[in-house]
Amino acid sequence: MTRLAKFAWATLAVNVAVVVYGAYVRATGSGAGCGPSWPTCDGEIIPAGLEGARAVEFTHRVTSAIAAVMVAVVAIWVLRTYEKGRQIRTAAWLSGIFIISESLVGAVLVLAEWVADDTSAARTVMVPVHLVNTFVLLASLAMLAWWASGRGPVRPAAGGGFKGYLGIALLGLVVVSATGGVTALADTLFPPESLGDGLSSSVADAEHFLTRLRVIHPVVAVTIGAFTGWMAWTFGAGAEKRLTRRLAVAIVGLVALQFFAGMSNILFGTPVWLQLTHLTLADLLWLGLVFLGASALETEPAPV
């Protein structure tokens, strides 16, 4: 594996870690740790008294900056290495564009003070926007790393029925992510005291609109998850290419783990560590689906 490929995979891994840590910031209510100040922390480059929420938020900003620099480096590296017309260059451009929009969305959340205990409708809209942007960024980085590793180009016109089902699954996971972000926000701001309390508050007219919205995510997640698992097994488990078969099996396993993690979140009152596990599995499932599509629609495949 070339140095570029290694760095590309490391960049993807770092960005996944930053995404999960960002969920930790939200789950612990630390988003306002640096005040309504960006990119500085309370107007300081390196603030004094780093403890509690300030330490959590400042750490997130530092790791986000590192991730952004890595994306910039790998994108420029690709653009200088590969000639025009290569699909990897498109992945590089998209990675650069969406790391910028990722930073801008984060800045808006902080500067508008849509963090910590804010329960506004604006924050409710921006949270899923942030997650959708994150998914596109991770997909772009994933394909950049994929092609940097010597994989063949993807045939946009190929795939037949599989391509349609893959598109539905990808779009479905984006919707699951968006509704999951709203549910996670509701669980952070209005944590249910029990399973019965969580279910009843979701339909009670007197409750905040966020608590009524969180009932949507489990329904959407089960439906899309079942479809994704079926699609992967139907089109991938019997594929000629070994990598495609392995990715299909991995996706089915991740769907099963996600069902278990989701139910556990409901049963145990959404502890922070379980929320982070749930999000990590969601990111891995998304990347697995992206790689499944790339492997199944690949031309000139590597001997894997």
Q: Quick one: pLDDT at residue 196?
A: 47
Same domain, 76 and 174: no
Same domain, 272 and 214: yes
Burial class of residue 100 (count of CB atoms within 10 Å of its CB; 0-12, 13-18, 19+): middle
pTM: 0.91
pLDDT tens-digit series, residues 102-142: 999 999 999 999 998 888 889 989 988 999 999 999 999 99
What domain range is 138 assigned to? 1-150
Using the CB atoms, write b or e for 137-166: b if 16+ within 10 Å. Answer: bbbbbbbbbbbbbebbebeeeebeebbebb
pLDDT tens-digit series, residues 59-72: 999 999 999 999 99
Rounded CA separation 228/217 (Å): 16
Same domain, 252 and 144: no
Same domain, 287 and 185: yes
Q: Quick one: pLDDT at residue 110?
A: 93
Select the highest-mean-pLDDT range: 38-47, 112-121, 188-197, 281-290: 281-290
Number of independent structural domains in the chain: 2
150, 177, 192 — which closes off a domain? Answer: 150
The residue type at 69: V
Average pLDDT value for the chain:
90
Same domain, 158 and 303: yes
Same domain, 234 and 138: no
Rounded CA separation 189/208 (Å): 10
pLDDT > 50? residue 40:
yes
127, 150, 173 — which closes off a domain? Answer: 150
